[in-house]
Structure 1
């Protein structure tokens, strides 16, 4: 946020809104692929899970199956802090190179350890180690890199650039499941995984070549790598806005992931990660809004429609709306402010979860929820890096400290996501217990909606500690507005002291000042 009192350099004034170098847009596409192969693969895990539960891991408990996807999301968030710090130090090529090797390697090894016989039962350990651990470690290097590297090329369009990059997750949530599901029927599971690994390899190699930060971007090399402050910036803990926003992201991950990872017999291969906690095949099937294709079990429906809509289309609608929302709202985030847009989107998403989703009683209601919520949830899950950049710009505003806002972007963003790793891992466990204990979806609907509302409240508190566009902080600005509204009432209540009133005019002097001494003065002189 730029303030009136902040000095602006001539270089920043002359900086174009859009980069003129082709490398910036090649890098933007590469960052799109980084998100495509990080959260996008987590989105597609439901396809693997639905295959496992009916074939190779059909005797494994659902919570163990969810552990594979939970491990991936946990590692992606856990390694956000060290990855962000390495990016700030200038090791983007090394970090992305590690993920370029680990993600395709883990998928290729998965196709080897998995039995080729469709009727064979596999062991849970090798599948978890390859798909959950190895692939998850690789995806952990991609997530923060995607937004951080793109932001260096688009300083004046950071929110828009991050919005484009975030679309990689929702697009992959459609591409990978379609690809895997079709190839399993045509080639078998192992060959289908190899084809997915091949596509992942091509996109990762492109990202490794073109995802390099802007050469003009300043890097912050630490003096000692073993120092605790190198990995945890203590200044962030003294920043109240950052602390409250980190709490908001923790509540957001608490409420967004539970249903996807803990519903019994869940199969949500096409749902965007930001949307998976809120709707799934089983919910739509049980409520009678659609049908699902399962290998080992059939769904029992209440109030089944004559021609129920296949639940995949509900998820596809939500994914498409999510992509549209990321692009549309990203354009407004640079004008309104990333954090302001984040607060508004979070509030709408929480209301939709608490009201529209819980009260959905027909197929049309379900479709309306998928479309409307998809628009806002895409921005909710995609804006945190841009919001952290907004907080940094408001924190380091002087000419001497302004450069720190860019240097610490990756570090502060990584720390924020690292603290959200535990909620992302434990949230599904709590939601799974609620479903098992009460055997109803209203518990998870209220759980997700309440956490999203708490996230909105924490974002409001974070915004309270940030300055407005005129340089004043929020409390003083509100006090100034209230004082201005009270002044006319106070002036009218003085009853004769206001110069514009008739009483004040009647008491004004009407004679022209004279140089002749008054009578009282002359009397004093005589005495």
Structure 2
């Protein structure tokens, strides 16, 4: 009997009309995730090549797939530079979103103290919402070849929004600069950072993606510390500008090193309504949306919680967000490797469930030790909800031609949970106390885990040892 990898290679070569050699795909090092990436490819592709005149031009590629292990570099200086460029994209996209909790606390006590926590949280939730929605809409533009348009335009908007934020004094100004301008900018530049890696890596895709995704957690760790250390010394305006200059410097690196290798020949559709006839897909999207309703509550409110509850002073409280993001770094890398062995759905379900339970446990944490312990574990578990969904969308989609479409649709729907979750929690805080904020966030996340478990059963059955 042929191995799964060998059978996949047979189908691949048959699809593109090539004769298969005995050694072409019989590589025992391939994991299930890497096989799925191969299955998700969309031949034919175009490639940028050097013409006789010295200019770059598109030509139809002889390569059957951008992820075919016979042609993907899987290393080398250029390939690893793509990881560096993608790392800084993550650093300045999700890293900025993960930093908003620091601004939330500062706005509540200083710049926007006349506004309610719910009103303030709308700024951060709109920023995260636009990141996901613009990323989904930008997929077809990436496929059409507008890679550097997205990258440069997004970088300019993100840095511009951060610099304009330093001049803001009213709520609507902050909303436009930080919520709208930065949100659209990060969404646009995030597309190339995610998509380019899969054209340079196949057997090392887990390592490459994990290292790049760690940028979001490290950015979310460094930015709050920089802001907290500088704001009392040089003021809000210049502390915010320093973050803008860091964004500018790191995004210049991304713009310089990210290089398009291959592009799909066809154009991606915006919608594939047949996806909603498939129960596992519907349950997975519903689970993600429900989980994200409560997932960001600790990111937005834990600093205010420890200050207002007297658990810690402002000096230590500002490090709570950095603690979550630092532990989330490991939660993006380690579960990815584990998922290759036991299946991504088997990995994401318990992590989501424990994240919800840990959020509820914050209601019973009244001293700094338990709070820090909970945040470390919470950061690790919550990281899987950012790193694993792209892989799961690949597993749930049989037709490789609509992978990008279905992923974009799923993230666009999930973004609604991010949009309304933290403002709802802010309204709850206005009407009651932090206890109900943590309970609301935890229940939503646990309910999301329940939907994800149903998705896992619908896809792979009830067997505990089944790899799904």
Inter-partner Cα distance in structure 2 for 1:125 and 1:206: 32
Deviation at 1:180, TM superposition (A): 2.5
Instruction: Name the SS for the 2:351 alignment partner.
Output: helix
How many Å separate the matches in 2 of 1:81 and 1:416? 9
Residue in 2 that maps onto 1:344: 350
Q: What's 1:305 paired with?
A: none
Which residue number corresponds to residue 247 of structure 1?
Answer: 286
Equivalent positions of 1:511-522 (< 5 A) are: none
In structure 1, the residue matched to 2:52 is none
Superposed displacement of residue 191, structure 1: 2.9
Counterpart of 2:408 in structure 1 is 414
TM superposition score normalised by structure 1: 0.70
1:367 paired residue number: 372
Question: Does residue 179 of the first structure (1) align with residue 226 of the second (2)?
Answer: yes
Is the contact between residue 74 and residue 422 of structure 1 (CA under 8 Å) also seen in structure 2? yes
- 1:445 paired to 2:438: yes
d(CA) in 2 for partners of 1:50, 1:446: 20
Aligned to 1:389: 394
CA contact (8 A) 1:153 1:213 kept: no
Aligned residue number for residue 429 of structure 2: 435
Aligned to 2:240: 193
Q: Does 1:140 align with 2:133?
A: no
Decide whether aligned partners of structure 1 residues 410 and 24 sit closer, same or farther in structure 2, where only a CA change above 3 A counts. Answer: farther
- Deviation per residue, 1:145-183 (Å, 9 max, x gap): 433332333334444443323222211112112222333
Q: Can you give the 5+ residue segments of structure 2 that lack an aligned partner in the other structure?
A: 11-19, 28-68
Residue 37 of structure 1 pairs with residue 59 of structure 2: no
For 1:179 and 1:335, how far apart are their aligned partners in 2? 38
Q: 1:373 to 1:59 in 2, by over 3 A?
A: closer
2:74 and 2:202 in contact (8 A); partners too: no
Q: Which of 450, 453, 467 is matched with 1:457 structurally?
A: 450
Distance 1:133 1:334 in 2: 37
The match for 1:423 among 399, 417, 430 is 417
CA contact (8 A) 1:159 1:333 kept: no
Out of 330, 333, 352, the position equivalent to 1:327 is: 333
Aligned match of 2:299: 276
Which residue in 2 is equivalent to 1:502?
none
Matched residue of 2:8: which SS?
A: coil
Contact 1:159 1:386 in 2 (8 A): no
Maintained 8 Å contact 1:162/1:386:
no
Q: Secondary structure at the match of 1:290?
A: coil
**Contact between 2:221 and 2:321, CA under 8 Å: does it hold in 1?**
no
- The alpha carbon displacement at 1:196 in A equals 1.9
TM-score, length-scaled by structure 2: 0.78
Q: 1:44 to 1:312 in 2, by over 3 A?
A: same
What is the DSSP-based 3-state SS (H/G/I as helix, E as strand, rest coil) of the residue aligned with 1:231?
A: coil
Residue in 2 that maps onto 1:497: none
Tell me if structure 1 keeps the 8 A contact 2:293–2:444: yes
Name the CA shift for 1:192/1:41 in 2 (closer, same or farther; >3 Å). Answer: same
Contact 1:82–1:414 at 8 Å: present in 2 too? Answer: yes
Corresponding residue number in structure 2 for 1:162: 209
Q: What are the ranges of 5 or more consecutive residues in structure 1 without an aligned counterpart?
A: 115-121, 223-229, 260-274, 294-309, 397-403, 468-473, 481-527
- Whether contact under 8 Å (1:162, 1:385) holds in the other structure is no
Task: Decide which of 71, 79, 86 is 2:134's aligned counterpart.
Answer: 79
Q: Cα–Cα, structure 1 residues 150 and 339, in superposed 2: closer, same or farther, change >3 Å?
A: farther
Asked if the contact 1:352/1:373 (under 8 Å) is kept, the reply is: yes
Are the equivalent residues in 2 in contact too, given 1:107–1:193 (CA < 8 A)? yes
Is residue 101–residue 321 contact of structure 2 (8 Å, CA) maintained in 1? no
Distance in 2 (CA, whole Å) between partners of 1:57 and 1:444 is 21
CA offsets per residue over residues 42-74 of structure 1, 9 Å max, x none?
Answer: 222333344444444343343332222122112
Tell me the CA shift for residue 246 of structure 1. Answer: 0.9
Q: 1:165 to 1:410 in 2, by over 3 A?
A: farther
Give the one of 303, 308, 324 matched to 1:318.
324
**Residue of structure 1 in register with 2:76 after alignment:** 21
Q: In the aligned structure 2, how far is the partner of 1:184 from the partner of 1:364?
A: 27
Q: Distance in 1 between matches of 2:213 and 2:9?
A: 30
CA-based RMSD:
2.9
SS in 1 for 2:459: coil
How far does the alpha carbon of each residue in 1:103-136 deviate from its partner, in whole angstroms, 9 at most, with x for none? 112223333x43xxxxxxx333223222221111
1:325–1:375 Cα contact (<8 Å) kept? yes
Q: Distance in 2 between matches of 1:183 and 1:450?
A: 37
Maintained 8 Å contact 1:150/1:213: no
